[in-house]
Chains A and B, each alone.
Chain A
């Protein structure tokens, strides 16, 4: 596949607005979770990563009237376009692909439709509508939703459309806000860490990827959009290129249980194979893997098993950031890609995960002293049989 340039990043996370806030927040290694308001939870008290109220400007009437989901997505997309200094022209050459594990929950709609005059904002893709109107993005627009690997899939799909010459650019990303329906469903399927607020005060990390004591994830709100551009056009306009998308892959495997992945992780394995094939490289050339590990009991071990088989020979560093950021579900792939770009762009070290632990073969956990290298693989494993991967390359 012809590589595609990433020229803009827009991100709003519990650490605040902008890539700097995210970068500095991850560097501190301290998560920013707060208790879920009592009226909103089901399975006892819990934590989540909330977007600070100050992170979202009011904006014009169209944006101000929208729900948090659409506003969060819009402001991140807006920031990505500004960051890229991209001239959108008539907009027909720019596609728009958003992703969210559930979108603006249909379950919640039954209640929110009481305010019928705002019903147009309730559709999953209202965020796309607002971005299209405000930012004049007028190419193909879709909202991938209802599984966790959607933003990784979206970045792959957008890269393919650009590489095939269909579009010159694409605004692509993910957005997720707290929904009590969504959270209750994951909690009842025992995917959410039952860690209560008292335990949080002891300083014990809420998400413990790959640790033997892991017991689930903590949900974080967040939105992250990237501007992807045709590489030659980006170079021609002297755009700042954070990194390149060199390959992608996604696979769906049959799942008996809608909330449990299969034992072998064969879908993830195929996704990685597709990605490496499209990028034209071998596993040993991958320097770093940003895994989707989020502290889930089974998912972490299946993912680790797949990765250690794939990278049995190569000296590859395994890292992640969800123990600090939290699990942003459908936006997770976009956050991974953005953090990969920031790591390419800025001198720094990967976060430390599972300090002192060893993996058999060529894979090793990042200890906080490694840098990212030139080829970085993002893996995204969802709970519903879906998986996706991206290969990012230093420009």
Chain B
């Protein structure tokens, strides 16, 4: 069995277009939530009744400027954004592929989703329709599908930076990023590949926002994770990439070692998580059992904490099930107030932030929390200011529609006196 380490990170988020900026934004309490009606890529979208107009959006054209004209002509802006994070992760790791086998795991809740102005520009015939209507079949051609297929991202990465041995484009909805890391871990551990590039992404679309508004998951009040007065959240968009390598072949000093993973599915309801938190807790228990860690040995938990009534209830109870009475001694935080709930990228961004926390020995604060909801359990939610902590082992969580959950247990590289 191979040991698996995290050697490179890449991120583009509403609060920073690289990992360093993203993390300094988290430490300083920056928020990327804006009124999306003013965003140039919304193409004059008219808000529906009850729709919340706020979202965490990426800086316009953030990644495209990094690429030469020929790549900008070849790929759409969203593919280039994902490619930019992949390149950042590989560069960060100083990755030299040589003859090593690599897996590319690209997870996204809904895949690529071209902005309305791009659709109108690329497919002029589409322009006569409002964004609500289904275009007639004769407006489709093969380029139309390229704009939507996640495999376009894989082709871009395969062509531009990694000659991969295998590639899996997939969706596990909002735990896509976490599952990309889990699958990469399993493939390296079993010796199938030597390295894995795990990517989680999702882009904002106003129709997606409408769906979430319809389910009354969104609210225009600030996101308050695990707060007694939480009312809902706003969506966001982000892209995150993580390079995992076998400990034997990893080049530079890694961020952390992945020591255990757990994935579970509630099997409860299409939208509502199991309020008992039992299946979510099962994912955490599985990860800790594999890591041979006791819950009270954790130094931090990177929660999702999206600020929804039912979501936080399930997650809070799951954590309370895991930690029991020691809950108040394990610090936790949530980055959703900073960048919005980023769907398929959420568990990936959680993980990336945790890697930076381990590297810098500091936990970022959770914004907007006024009074922690004690009905969920006793928690030590990092608030107000960043908190310096020596992180030796920690857990990164993820949870999604249809009840998918992930938990990834990590260990700081120098905690057992080994060569990592």
Smallest CB–CB gap between B348 and chain A, Å?
Answer: 14
Evaluate whether A384 and B140 lie within 8 angstroms (CB atoms) in the complex, with A106-B111, A145-B170 already known: no
Establish whether residues A252 and B148, one from each chain, have CB atoms under 8 Å apart when the complex forms: no
Contact with B along A324-353 (1 / 0, CB 8 A): 000000000000000000000000000000
For A358, list chain B residues within 8 Å (CB): none
CB distance from A114 to the nearest CB of B (A): 7
B165 touching A117, Cβ below 8 Å:
no
| Minimum Cβ distance to chain A for residue B237 (Å) | 15
Q: Which residues of B contact A110 (CB under 8 A)?
A: 131-135, 207
Cβ B171 vs Cβ A103 within 8 A: yes
CB of B43, distance to nearest CB on chain A (Å): 13
**Number of residues of chain A lying within 8 A (CB) of chain B:** 75
Q: Indicate whether A236 reaches chain B with its CB closer than 8 angstroms.
A: no
Of residues 155 through 175 on chain B, the ones whose CB sits less than 8 Å from some CB of chain A are 155, 158-159, 163-173
Residues of A within 8 A of B67 (CB): none
Residues of A within 8 A of B166 (CB): 153, 250-252
In the complex, are the beta carbons of A129 and B402 less than 8 A apart? yes
Given known contacts A110-B133, A160-B186, A252-B154, is B263 in contact with A139 (CB within 8 Å)? yes
Which B residues are in CB contact (< 8 Å) with A121? 270
Instruction: Assess the B172–A136 pair: CB atoms within 8 A.
Output: no
A120 touches B168 (CB 8 A): no
Given known contacts A188-B142, A251-B165, A145 and B402 CB-to-CB distance under 8 angstroms: no
The answer to whether B403 and A142 have CB atoms under 8 Å apart is no
Which residue of A40, A157, A186, A250 is within 8 Å of B137 (Cβ)?
A: A40
Q: What residues on A are CB-neighbors of B187 within 8 Å?
A: 160
Cβ 8 A contact of A96, one of B107, B214, B265, B279: B265
> How far does the Cβ of B260 sit from chain A's closest Cβ, in whole Å?
11
- Chain A residues lying within 8 Å of B121, measured Cβ to Cβ, are none
**Interface SS of chain B: helix, strand, loop or mixed?**
mixed
Q: Is A146 within 8 A of B169, CB to CB?
A: yes
State whether A124 touches B110 (Cβ < 8 A): yes
- Residue in contact with B403 in the complex, picked from A132, A160, A252, CB distance below 8 Å: A132
- On whether the beta carbons of A185 and B145 are closer than 8 Å, the reply is yes
- Interface of chain B residues 260 through 288 with chain A (CB within 8 A): 263-271, 279, 282, 286
B107: A residues at CB distance < 8 A: 142
Residues of A near B264 (CB, < 8 A) are: 92, 138-140
How many Å lie between the Cα of A58 and that of B150 in the bound state? 32
Q: Are A116 and B214 in contact (CB under 8 A)?
A: yes
For B141, what are the chain A residues with a Cβ–Cβ distance below 8 Å? 184-185, 188
User: 8 Å CB contacts to A: which residues of B267-313?
Assistant: 267-271, 279, 282, 286
A128 in the interface (beta carbon within 8 A): yes
Measured CB to CB, the closest approach of chain A to B58, in angstroms, equals 19
> Which of A132, A166, A180, A270 interacts with B165 by CB under 8 Å?
A270
Q: Judge if B31 is at the interface, Cβ distance under 8 Å.
A: no
Q: Which of A151-185 contact B (CB under 8 A)?
A: 153, 157, 160-161, 163-164, 166, 180-182, 184-185
**Which residue of the partner chain B has the closest CB to A163?**
B190
Count of A-B contacts judged by CB separation below 8 Å: 211
Q: Which residue of B lies closest to A109 (CB)?
A: B207
* Bound complex: CA A146 to CA B268 (Å): 27
With a cutoff of 8 Å between Cβ atoms, the chain B residues found around residue A182 in the complex are: 145
Q: Are B210 and A123 in contact (CB under 8 A)?
A: no
Tell me which of A106, A107, A125 contacts B172 (CB under 8 A).
Answer: A125
Q: Are A117 and B214 in contact (CB under 8 A)?
A: yes
Which A residues touch B263, using CB under 8 A?
Answer: 95, 139-141
Do A120 and B148 touch across chains, with their CB atoms under 8 A apart? no
Query: Which chain A residues lie closer than 8 Å to B215 at the CB level?
Result: 120
Instruction: Confirm or deny: B204 has a beta carbon within 8 angstroms of a beta carbon on chain A.
Output: no
Known: A113-B211, A181-B140, A188-B142. A137 touches B265 (CB 8 A): yes
Partner of B183, one of A157, A184, A258: A157
Known: A40-B137, A254-B159. A145 touches B145 (CB 8 A): no
CB <8 Å contact, A132 and B140: no
Q: In this assembly, does B179 line the interface, its C-beta being within 8 Å of a C-beta of chain A?
A: yes
Pairwise interchain contact A114-B132, C-beta atoms closer than 8 A: yes
A-side contacts of B133, CB under 8 Å? 110-111
Q: How far is the CA of A261 from the CA of B133 in the complex (A)?
A: 34
Chain A CB within 8 A of B182 CB: yes
Contact B140 A180 (CB under 8 A): yes
Asked if A47 is at the interface (CB within 8 A of a chain B CB), the reply is no
Across the interface, name the chain B residue whose C-beta is closest to A189.
B142
Q: How far is the CA of A345 from the CA of B192 in the complex (A)?
A: 31
Does the CB pair A125–B173 fall under 8 Å? Answer: yes
Extra contacts besides A138-B267, A166-B186, A182-B145 (17): CB < 8 Å: A42-B140, A103-B171, A120-B215, A133-B270, A139-B263, A139-B265, A141-B172, A144-B169, A146-B111, A153-B168, A160-B187, A163-B190, A185-B144, A188-B141, A252-B165, A274-B165, A384-B154
A-B contact pairs, 16 of them (CB 8 A): A91-B265, A92-B282, A102-B145, A107-B148, A110-B134, A116-B211, A123-B173, A144-B169, A145-B150, A157-B168, A160-B192, A166-B186, A189-B142, A254-B155, A255-B155, A258-B152
Complex A-B, nearest 8 residue pairs according to Cβ-Cβ distance, in ascending order:
A111-B134, A129-B402, A252-B167, A140-B263, A185-B145, A184-B140, A189-B142, A146-B151
